[in-house]
Structures are given as C-alpha cells and as structure tokens.
Structure 1
Amino acid sequence: MKKTIATHLQPLFTLVFVLTLSAFTFSCSGNKESGGDSSMIAGTTSKIWKADKETNAAGDKDKLTSAEKEEQIQFFANGNFTQTSSSQSANGTWTYDASTKTLSLTYANNNVSENFKVNELTKNDLKLQAPDGSTLELEAE
C-alpha cells in the first residue's frame, strides 16, 4: 500500500486527505525564505488549499489521484481547520510558528496532533515536509 502524507495527518482517519492552503495577505515580495505568518495560511477569515504535488520519503515523485486532487483543507483565522474529501471530513485546531516554520494540526475528538516543517510559504504555494521526509506541495484555491 502506498504511504502518503495523509497518513501523517491523521492516522485514525481511513481516507487520504490532502492539504491545500491559500494565502490572502502577503507582501508583493513573495520571499520563500521567510517564515511568513499565520495570515498567509488563513487570510483574514479563512483560506482553502489543495494538493499540487507530493514526494515520498525517498524524494521520489508520487502521482496524486484525481480524488486526492479534489480533497482540501480550509484554515480559519480563529485557529480552526476543516479537512474534506468527497466522502469524509475532519476538523480541529491549527497553529503556525514562523520562527521554527512549524505547522501543527490537532484533530478534534481524538487528540491526534501532527507537525509539519514548512519548507516554502508564499502567496499561492505551501510546501510541507512530514517527519518521515515526504513532502506535499499545496496551492491556494
């Protein structure tokens, strides 16, 4: 069975979820090296992100299925998130630490928490790295 980033997002959730983030307030510089801030992830109220590309832990490209491309995650400025696919959804809370470039997701009702290194954060792109080294590139909707 193919191991994807989604297995890191919520081990108890049976379907693969793909993160997608969108930026609303971002300076025109688009500096990929800066840590950015939480408003780049959630905007002033909320933002939706969808998967664009992913690699496995070895760095090899993993092709996203059409179903995975339709999955999304919506980050709200109040610290909540909703993750949806065509058949399931999950929610919880999120935090972003710009100094360490760490995005943390905590799922409601099961206290599962996942941490991702943010390798890139721009107005329209977010590149996450899971603890196993696999990556997921997201685009703003």
Structure 2
Amino acid sequence: MVTSFFSLRSYAASLLCAFVLLFAAASCGNDKGKVEGANMLYGTSGKVWKTAKETDAAGDKVKQTDAQEQETLHMFSNNTYSMTGTAGAVQGKFAFDQSAKTLTLTPDAGGTSNTFTVETLTDKKLTLVGTSGAKLALEAE
C-alpha cells in the first residue's frame, strides 16, 4: 500500500512538471499580439532593427534580396528614426501610439507619412502590418 501511494504521488508530480514545462514553452514562443511600451522600440537611447521576415497581403513569404537584407531601421529615444540601405539613408520622426497599436513614420524630406499597425513589439521583435495587410517582421540587433 505504501509503495503504490509513493508511485501515484511520483506519477502526479511528473505530470504536473510536464504540464508546467509545456505551458512555459508555449507562452514563451508566441509574442503575437503583445505590444509593450515605446521604450521597446529604442531601448535606452537607440536600437537597430533588421528584417527577419516579410509576407505579402495574402500571407505568402516575400523573398528578401541581398540589398534588402542589409537594410536597417534605427529608432532613437528622441522619436526620430533613420532607415539605411544600399540606396542611402532616410531620416524622419516617428509617433507610437501604444493604445491604438500604431506606428507612424514621417520622413524629414517631405513625402507621405506611413502608418503601420503594430502586431508585436517586445525587446527583440517588432512586427508591422501595412494597410494592404502585408507584414514586416523585424528583429533587434
């Protein structure tokens, strides 16, 4: 009787540990929909973001060219940004609205501002959704 009690207790403890590990792994792996504060965009003073993945409006993966893979987005704590690539650099200002989950980029040289829906914003991930539904997933360097 004593042996079966300890066996049952050991079995229950094993199941509980497995459940906790499974839950922890599942919750760590999916940041979609998590939009943290503006400081995640720029860290303490500035942060560099690089493209990790791009999908079109239909959800199909867009192949990145070598030039596109070299493009970076620098976000600074004074609400300015700089996008650099093989074609040069574009500077401007950004506005982030955490409650509306939007990021607006306005270039200094004039032109049209672009507003994106922020699907994910954590210390390491930033996913922007355009008005067409196309997505750009960025990772912090």
Tell me how far 1:111 sits from its aligned partner: 4.2
Aligned to 2:59: 59
Q: Is the 8 A contact 1:55 1:136 kept in 2?
A: yes
Please give the secondary structure, in 2, of the residue aligned with 1:67: helix
Relative to the length of structure 1, the TM-score reads 0.75
- Of all paired residues, the percent bearing the same amino acid is 39
Aligned to 2:83: 83
Tell me how far 1:134 sits from its aligned partner: 0.2
Tell me how far 1:123 sits from its aligned partner: 1.6
Letter in 2 for 1:53: K
Aligned to 1:37: 37
Tell me how far 1:58 sits from its aligned partner: 1.1
Tell me how far 1:61 sits from its aligned partner: 0.8
Q: Is the 8 A contact 1:36 1:98 kept in 2?
A: yes
Relative to the length of structure 2, the TM-score reads 0.75
Q: Whose helix fraction is larger, Structure 1's or Structure 2's? A: 2
Tell me how far 1:66 sits from its aligned partner: 1.5
Distance 1:126 1:34 in 2: 10
Letter in 2 for 1:43: G
Per-residue CA shift, 1:57-111, capped at 9, x if unaligned? Answer: 1111111111101100100000110110023110000011110110110011214
Q: Is the 8 A contact 2:91 2:108 kept in 1?
A: yes
5+ residue gaps, structure 1, are: 1-28
Distance 2:49 2:35 in 1: 18
Cα RMSD (Å) of the superposition?
A: 1.7
Distance 1:35 1:73 in 2: 18
Distance 1:62 1:100 in 2: 27
Q: Is the 8 A contact 1:30 1:122 kept in 2?
A: no
Please give the secondary structure, in 1, of the residue aligned with 2:100: coil
